[in-house]
Amino acid sequence: MGYYISVQPNVNLYVEDVNPQGCKTIVFIHGWPASHRMFEYQFNQFPCRGYRCVGIDVRGFGNSDKPWEGYDYDRLADDIRCVMEAMGLEDVTLGGHSTGGAIAIRYMARHKGYGVSKLALFAAAAPSLIQRPYFPYGLPAEAVENIIQETLTDRPKMLRGFSEMFFFQYITQPFSDWFFQMGLQAAGWATAAVANSWLDEEKLFSDLAEIHVPTLILHGHHDRVCLFPLAIAQNEGIRNSRLVPFKYSGHGLLYDQRDKFNQELIEFIEA
């Protein structure tokens, strides 16, 4: 079941709600520059276990509206709150991949975990995707600046290059094309604006300490986008968190080790 939820005047987010009668609810926030469709191989399986899966397309991406403004983490977290309230969601597991993980962290801090009983972070872009003087573990800022410049001049080329960084395991050309098309569905200005947020955002460091629910951290050892030390920093900064390294995965751990990913998440939800 898919429908739109208003989060601001003239701004509506697309939400996919699979198995609304499920016993437990998982809310998925996708990574940059994809959509809720990136969780296809969770949506195929989790409802079979009785779970309700709610996938949100972040503004500017997927089927959601694509306004010119509103791509900072505060606004993106506020959008999630609007969805949670509109759908009456409570006692959910909130899961976010990459930038979606960063948005989930900001949501937990800014909205005091409203409606969330557990948090799951998948290759999350936190506490900082880029290197900073006090945090040398991210990407060079120049790498992100290049992504932004390529987005504004040759976005298809940028997306192809990004997909080459995304996976560690072999993927077929048709699968690569499918992933590429998800990125093309986003607005170019939204793609660049969210990437620019990676450069500006520093509050995630303090946000980690504001998380007070059980937290699962899944992260690939071979991640070339959100490097593995980010997961260690998350684990150190979030009380009651558990880090599960994925030895044979890159940034796309939910594809690289799909079965392990699904099983770890299911065990966390059922615990």
Interval 22-59: pLDDT, tens: 889 999 999 999 999 999 999 999 999 999 999 999 99
Report residue 155's pLDDT band, with 50, 70 and 90 as the boundaries. Answer: very high
pLDDT > 70: percent of the chain: 100
pLDDT in tens, 173-231: 999 999 999 999 999 999 999 999 999 999 999 999 999 999 999 999 999 999 999 99
Residues assigned a catalytic role: 98, 223, 251
Tell me which residue range forms the domain holding 147. 2-270
| Average pLDDT of the segment spanning 131-149 | 96
Element (H, E) at 36: none
Angstrom distance (rounded) from CA 130 to CA 216: 22
| Average pLDDT of the segment spanning 69-84 | 98
> Average per-residue pLDDT in the chain?
97
Per-residue model confidence (pLDDT) at position 65 = 98
Angstrom distance (rounded) from CA 221 to CA 81: 32
Structure tokens at 118: 């557990």
When divided into structural domains, the chain yields a total of 1
Structure tokens at 15: 């939400």
Distance set, CA 139 to CA 47, 87, 125, 131 (Å): 36, 37, 11, 6
Per-residue model confidence (pLDDT) at position 46 = 97
Asked whether residue 158 carries a pLDDT value surpassing 90, the answer given is yes
| Average pLDDT of the segment spanning 142-164 | 97
pLDDT in tens, 230-246: 999 999 999 999 999 99
Per-residue model confidence (pLDDT) at position 1 = 79
Per-residue model confidence (pLDDT) at position 14 = 98
Bridge partners for 11 per DSSP: 8
Q: Residue 115, CB half-sphere, CA atoms under 13 Å: how many?
A: 21
For residue 37, what is the domain's CATH number?
A: 3.40.50.1820
Q: Are 212 and 221 in contact (CB under 8 A)?
A: no
Per-residue model confidence (pLDDT) at position 266 = 97
**How many C-beta neighbours within 10 Å does residue 13 have?**
25
Structure tokens at 252: 């796309």
* Identity at 188, one-letter amino acid code: G
Per-residue model confidence (pLDDT) at position 60 = 98
What predicted TM-score, i.e. pTM, was given to this entire model? Answer: 0.98
Element (H, E) at 12: strand 11-18
Q: Are 218 and 121 in contact (CB under 8 A)?
A: yes
Distance set, CA 220 to CA 2, 80, 180 (Å): 31, 26, 21
